[in-house]
Chains A and B, each alone.
Chain A
């Protein structure tokens, strides 16, 4: 609901900016003309932003699914919800296939100045803990440091509990036994957690039928 109100506000501001004084004047001075163009650009940007907010509430744009002979496969698009003050962002996506003993695969990308690999990971949200050893997908050099990509298996039944917008989740990567804690980006989490919850609730209900 909060996002809907913000969207409405964005659209209203965009409309007011476009409609504001100066637009009705037939002959505009140079400054007036520039102001008008500026307003129109601002209105356009706000409208595009508002539209993307509206579309963001639709979970269909956050995942894909395909029916296959041995069950439906679901995949959530990569999302960046966690950050580390030194290492930067952590981006993850989740794949779930039905009838595979309720296991899901979480792939994540992180960055580091070192090529040392991650041993294990721990995603914590309230009382829900998703943890386990990771398997490296690839390591590649970047302008500064390294880009790491890992995968790990988890119990999919915990995912609805994980995506709880009231919580302040945290991710810890263990590199050579040393923990690296990633804090959640609060606004991103508040926007995405309900989406994640609805996706895995839908999967749970669909599989039960």
Chain B
């Protein structure tokens, strides 16, 4: 039982760090922001976000698509897209897409 739990925990931690797109990711704790895409559209006055959450590397729920984030703020012309990831030992992970545009 103990070995199983330890194995599950290690697996979750590895999965948690593996899902980070950035070249830098922490095994124990991750809190990073990074750029994802830039378009030729000028300026932005609206910001929309969308997120997915992962639990113990076993369950992941949500919709972090660019389309969803843009729709949350009524964005029709995207200027650029960022993302951020927070992870606590892979046990709890939040992945957020941030869309800027008009």
CB–CB A64/B47 < 8 A? yes
B74 and A137 contact, CB distance less than 8 A? yes
Give 26 CB contacts A-B under 8 Å: A33-B1, A34-B1, A48-B88, A48-B89, A48-B91, A51-B29, A55-B31, A61-B31, A61-B86, A64-B82, A64-B98, A66-B44, A69-B43, A70-B43, A73-B44, A73-B45, A73-B47, A75-B49, A77-B49, A77-B96, A78-B49, A95-B46, A95-B47, A95-B73, A137-B72, A151-B74
Decide: B72 and A107 in contact? CB cutoff 8 A: yes
What's the least CB distance linking B49 to chain A, in Å?
6
Q: Which residues of A contact B45 (CB under 8 A)?
A: 73, 95, 97, 100
Q: Given the interface contacts A75-B49, A78-B49, A93-B49, does A33 sit within 8 Å of B2 by beta carbon? A: yes
B71 CB-CB contact with A under 8 Å: yes
Annotate A15-29 by CB proximity to B: 1 below 8 A, 0 otherwise: 000000000000000
Kindly identify which residue among A33, A52, A73, A138 contacts B71, using a CB–CB cutoff of 8 Å.
A138
Any A CB within 8 A of the CB of B95 = no
For the complex, what is the distance from the CA of A34 to the CA of B31, rounded to whole Å?
33
Q: Is A37 on the interface with B (CB-CB < 8 A)? A: yes
Residues of B within 8 A of A53 (CB): none
**B100 neighbours in A (Cβ, 8 Å):** 66, 73
For chain A residues 30-69, which have a beta carbon within 8 Å of chain B?
33-34, 37, 41, 44, 48, 51-52, 55, 61, 64, 66, 68-69
A172: Cβ under 8 A from any B Cβ: no
**A105-B45 Cα distance, complex, nearest whole Å:** 10
Within the complex, what minimum Cβ distance (angstroms) separates B32 from chain A? 12
**A120 and B9 alpha carbons, distance in the complex (Å):** 48
CB distance from A101 to the nearest CB of B (A): 12
**Closest beta carbon of chain A to B65's beta carbon, Å:** 14
Q: Which residues of chain A come closer than 8 Å to B84, judged between CB atoms?
A: 64
Contact between B91 and A44, CB atoms less than 8 A apart: yes
| Interchain nearest-CB distance for A111 vs B (Å) | 15
Q: Taking the complex as formed, is A149 at the interface, i.e. its CB lies under 8 A from any CB of chain B?
A: yes
Within 8 A of B (CB), among A160-207: none
A residues less than 8 Å from B72 (CB atoms): 107, 137, 149
Determine if A107 and B1 form an interchain contact, defined as CB atoms under 8 angstroms apart. no
Complex Cα distance, B97 from A64, in Å, reads: 12
